[in-house]
Amino acid sequence: MFIEPNISGERRGWIEVICGSMFSGKTEELIRRLKRAKIANLKVEIFKPGIDVRYDETKVVSHDANAIHSTPVDNSQKILLLSQDVDVVGIDEAQFFDDEITHVCETLALKGVRVIVAGLDMDYLGKPFGQMPNLLAIADYISKLHAICVQCGNIANISYRKTAQEGQVLLGEKDIYEPRCRVCNHK
């Protein structure tokens, strides 16, 4: 499907990706950017995957309890349907979305929308997570954030899973995950 790009010289869209491990501040940074867009009187829509109900069913909430209202969706195509006449679209936990999320972000950017996406770039095994590698590839701006390793105090880039439960997707917080650096993760 070809989307005609906005070449009239009006508003130009772009894609920003905020990535990193759990507890690195991705959602906090997403909320900060979206609140600044609202202060600038831009029309903002925020989306999160419907499966993420850890803190709230409809709000995007950071670990520091900072929150912003969002719309939970069960597939990325709904983001296109619900993003009519907006200036900025925020998407949290992008690693949980389906294969179309990259196309959705590209389509929005071509329509002149600023797209801000946050998500885990790696899973608990240190492997690329979901569509994040594809989003990083098409991003105009990338911010990689780091947590602090709870074992040694160095920067952490891995979400270490403290349980033996397998499967790439396991929703949880500090009860299940902790940030670790590369060295401590391999111990």
- Is residue 120 pLDDT above 70, yes or no? yes
Residue pLDDT, tens place only, 61-115: 555 656 667 889 999 999 999 998 999 999 999 999 999 999 999 999 999 999 9
Active site residues: 93
Residue-level length of the chain: 187
Closest CA to 121 of 98, 142, 95, 90: 95
- Is residue 149 pLDDT above 90, yes or no? yes
Which residues does 20 contact at the CB level (< 8 Å), separation at least 6? 26, 120, 121, 144, 145, 146, 147, 157
Tokens of 186: 């391999």
Least confident of 8-22, 61-75, 76-90, 163-177: 163-177
pLDDT band at 2 (very low <50, low <70, confident <90, very high): very low
For residue 49, what pLDDT is reported? 86
Per-domain residue ranges of the chain: 14-145
pLDDT band at 43 (very low <50, low <70, confident <90, very high): very high
The percentage of the chain sitting over the pLDDT mark of 90, rounded to a whole number, equals: 65
**What pTM, to 2 d.p., does this model score?**
0.85
- CB count within 10 Å of CB 15 equals 23
**Fold designation for 14-145:** Rossmann fold (3.40.50)
